[in-house]
Amino acid sequence: MCVSDRSYFPTEPDIELTGEAQAALHERAAAVTREEFGNKVFVRAVVEVSNFCRENCAYCGMRRDNKQLARYRANHEQIAEMLIQHRPAAVTDINIQTGEDPVAVREVVLPLIQTLRRETNLGISVCLGTFAREIYAELKVAGASIYIMKFESADAARYTALEAPGTLDERVRHIRQLAADGWNVSSGFIVGLAGQTPRELLGNLRLADALPLAGCSVSPFIPGEDTPLANDLPAPFHWTLNCMAAMRLMRPDWVIPAVSALNLAGQDGYRQGLRVGANLVTINLTPEDVRGDYVIYKRDRFIMTEERVLNAIAAEGLSPSREGLAEHYRLNQSRAGLIAATA
């Protein structure tokens, strides 16, 4: 019998499972992951090239109202040199990430993508925020193929209360448009915000399922320093893991990252994420002098270095995928095209 079941959708009690029933859910998710991807995980690097942000998300330390933060924009030539000459051997893909900063897109991100496209065969992901369609097109022409745009919460009222970018409807429209324009889109949501119920989390999974995504993340809420949510409680860790496992069972083929916040959310959190369905790890290559100012959660971020990432996957009996993420999506698309053409 095939352990994956495309018709799977979790129930509210699934989100709160503990003990043996939880272990069984996690084992099913792990089995589905191994069936789809073997013992390979995708290894990408992230560079956080600007922490300027025009948005004001209540959960995020880079929000524009945070005046405590020293803001920086990296130099694209320096980042390119580092990535071309000194990237870890296991890295197949690079994720270029910023606060929502149009200046950085023009001055840092676009030239960096062009250089990387010319000098390497790295797959290129971007996580930059919402922009006009022409900007997305420029990024794609330059050589990026994966756009990360999280919807954060599928509850429209909560989305607005969180001061997340624009409205939920707009965010969803951007996600759909990116996919329609040929991007591989990965999204994500936050688990464990104050007052969030298992029912609401099912709503997040339902929206993710309805969107044209190639992957999706589950981020445990971490009360961010110098944010309006600084005094809220952190996410229940078992809810986070149960959402990841449920997502894996719902979408066996998705690429699900182990986010670095897992380490702040639970003991050995990153490795636990790899045990419940995550199949993408990220080595942080943001220059050390500015890393501390890229405060999504808190200053003390537990940076996922090459050594920590490779140790975590080895300890779980996994190994780096030689096939890159962008390449994987490209091959999947051409397979899907072939099937459509011969149907």
> How long, in residues, is the chain?
343
- The answer to whether 330 touches 214, Cβ cutoff 8 Å, is no
Give the torsion sign (CA, 99, 165, 296, 266): negative
Nearer residue to ligand 5AD within complex by CB, 32 or 235: 235
Q: Is the separation of the CB atoms in 96 and 112 below 8 Å? A: yes
| Least Å from the CB of residue 234 to ligand 5AD | 8
C-alpha count within 13 angstroms, C-beta hemisphere, residue 285: 26
Task: CB nearer to ligand 5AD: give 184 or 196.
Answer: 196
Smallest separation, CB 230 to ligand 5AD (Å)? 9
User: Among residues 32 and 241, whose Cβ is nearest to ligand 5AD?
Assistant: 241
Name the minimum Å distance from CB 46 to ligand 5AD: 10
Q: Distance between CA atoms of 16 and 248, rounded to whole angstroms?
A: 16
Q: How far is the CB of 152 from ligand 5AD (least distance, A)?
A: 5
Between CA 23 and CA 25 the distance in angstroms is: 5
Q: Rounded to the nearest whole angstrom, what is the least distance from the CB of residue 251 to ligand 5AD in the complex?
A: 18
Question: Which residue, 61 or 252, is less far from ligand 5AD as judged by CB?
Answer: 61
Q: By Cβ distance, which residue is nearest to ligand 5AD?
A: 219
> How far apart are CB 233 and ligand 5AD at their closest, in Å?
12
Q: Is 85 exposed, middle or buried (0-12, 13-18, 19+ CB in 10 A)?
A: exposed
Structure token pair of residue 52? 């300027």
Is the Cβ–Cβ distance between 270 and 258 less than 8 Å? yes
In the complex, the smallest distance separating the C-beta of residue 60 from ligand 5AD, rounded to whole angstroms, is 4
What is d(CA 156, CA 162) in angstroms, rounded to the nearest whole number? Answer: 10
Nearer to ligand 5AD, 23 or 233 (CB): 233
Q: State in angstroms the smallest separation of the CB of 310 from ligand 5AD.
A: 23
Which spans of this chain sit near ligand 5AD (rule: CB under 6 A)?
59-60, 150, 152, 188, 190, 219, 221-222, 224, 261, 296-297
* Nearest partner of 219 among 160, 313, 311, 297, judged by Cα: 297
Q: Residue 92 or residue 97: which is nearer to ligand 5AD going by CB?
A: 97
Q: Looking at beta carbons only, is 33 or 219 nearer to ligand 5AD?
A: 219
Burial of 154: CB neighbours in 10 Å, binned 0-12, 13-18, 19+: buried
The two tokens of residue 229 are 């949510």
Please identify, using beta-carbon distances, which residue of 90 and 207 lies nearer to ligand 5AD: 207
